[in-house]
Amino acid sequence: MLFGHIETRAHRIEHLIMLRELQDRTGGFDAFIPLLFKASNNTLSYLGEADTIEILRTFAISRIVLDNFRHIKSYWPMLGREQSQLALLYGADDVDGTINDSTKIYSMAGSKEQKPVMTAQDLEAMAAQCGYVALERDSFYRQVIKK
C-alpha cells in the first residue's frame, strides 16, 4: 500500500480493513508492504512526505489490523536503514533483503538509500540490534538452511 500522499489516516484504515477482509476470504497474501510515497521528482512533490512518527504509526496499525497476515515487510531501499530498523520495533517482521541494481527506480524517486546495497551481515546486525535473529528465507517464507 502506497501511503503518505493524498490519503487520510481514515483512508489508510479503510484500505487495511478491506485487505483484512479479503485475506479472511482468500488467505492469498503472504505479506503486506507499506510503501512510503516519495515526494521528489513528481507532480505531487508539494504534498511533502510522511515523517518518521507517521511511518511507524502506519506499521503499528498495519500489524494490529492485519493480524491475519503472517508478515509485515519493511522495504528498506524506500524507507532507509534507520526507519526500516525502527519498523521492526513497530510491527514489521521482515526487512526485504539483499537488493540488486533493479531498485534503481527508488533511488531516482528520491529514496533515502541512493545506493541500495545491504549485505546479509548488515541485515543480521540490524536484526540483532533490535533483539531479533535474522533468518534467510526464500520467496515463500521458508527458512533457507545452508549445507
Q: How many independent structural domains does the chain possess?
A: 1
Q: How far apart are CA 127 and CA 93, in angstroms?
A: 10
Look up the pTM and report it.
Answer: 0.86
Check residue 55 and give its pLDDT. 97
- Judge whether 143 lies within some domain: no
Q: Is residue 46 part of a domain?
A: yes
Higher pLDDT, 116 or 82: 82
Domain span at residue 47 reads: 2-129
Q: Would you say residue 137 lies in a domain? A: no
Q: Tell me the average pLDDT across 41-49.
A: 84
Helix H segments across the chain? Answer: 9-26, 52-65, 76-79, 81-88, 104-108, 120-129
Give residue 105's pLDDT band: very low, low, confident or very high (50, 70, 90). low
Instruction: For residue 23, tell me if it sits in a domain.
Output: yes
Is residue 144 in a domain? no
Q: Mean pLDDT over all residues of the chain? A: 88
Task: Examine residue 83 and state whether it is found in any structural domain, yes or no.
Answer: yes
> Is 138 a domain residue?
no
Please give the pLDDT value at position 106: 58
What is d(CA 53, CA 99) in angstroms, rounded to the nearest whole number?
26
Q: Does residue 142 belong to any structural domain of this protein? A: no
